[in-house]
Amino acid sequence: MIAKDTPYTDDLLIHQIYKTMRMFTNTLNEMLRTYGLYSAEWTVLNFLKKHDGSLQSDIAAALQIEAAAISKTLGKMEKKHLITRTVRKDKREKYIFLTPNAKNIFPALSQAVTLHRNQALSDLSEDDRKKMLSFIVSMSQQLTGSESH
C-alpha cells in the first residue's frame, strides 16, 4: 500500500502497475493451480476457445508472445491433453486445436477466472474501468508506436 503522503512520481506509477500485474498473475496462477494450469496456458486456452484451429504463429502474434515461449507453453498443454498440434501441407505450419478434455473443463475455468477478475476490479466503477483501459491502451501505443491494440 502507498502511504497517502507519498509524493507522486512517474517511477512510482510504473512500479505500481508492475507490482499490480505481478500480483494479479500470481493470484490467478494460485487459483488455476487447482486445475493444474498456469495463466499463460489459460490465455492460450481462452484464445483457442474463440479461434480453434489457429496456426501456432498466429496465436503467438495475437497474444504478443515470442515463438519460443508459445512453443514451450503449447508443449506443456499438449502433455496435459488440452491441445493437439496438426501439420498440413506446409510442415512448418502447425494448427492448434482444443481437445475434448479442454472443451469440457473450459466452463469451470472461465467461471473461476471471471470470479478472480471481478475480485480484482470490484472497487472500480465501470467508468473508472473504461478510463483505465484507455490509459493502458495509450501507454501500449506509445511503447509500440502503433495506433491501436
Label residue 85 by pLDDT band (50, 70, 90): very high
| Domain 26-110, second-level architecture | Orthogonal Bundle (1.10)
The grid cell for 96 is: 492448434
What distances in angstroms separate CA 105 from CA 52, 63, 84, 100, one per listed residue?
A: 15, 22, 16, 9
CB neighbours of residue 84 within 10 Å: 14
Kindly indicate the confidence band of residue 90, based on its pLDDT and cuts at 50, 70 and 90.
confident
pTM: 0.87
* Nearest residue to 96 via CA among 79, 108, 82, 106: 82
Give the closest residue to 82 by CA, choosing from 109, 117, 116, 55: 109
pLDDT in tens, 8-65: 899 999 999 999 999 999 999 999 999 999 999 999 999 999 999 999 999 999 999 9
Q: Summarize pLDDT for 114-143 with one digit per residue, the tens.
A: 999 999 999 999 999 999 999 999 999 999
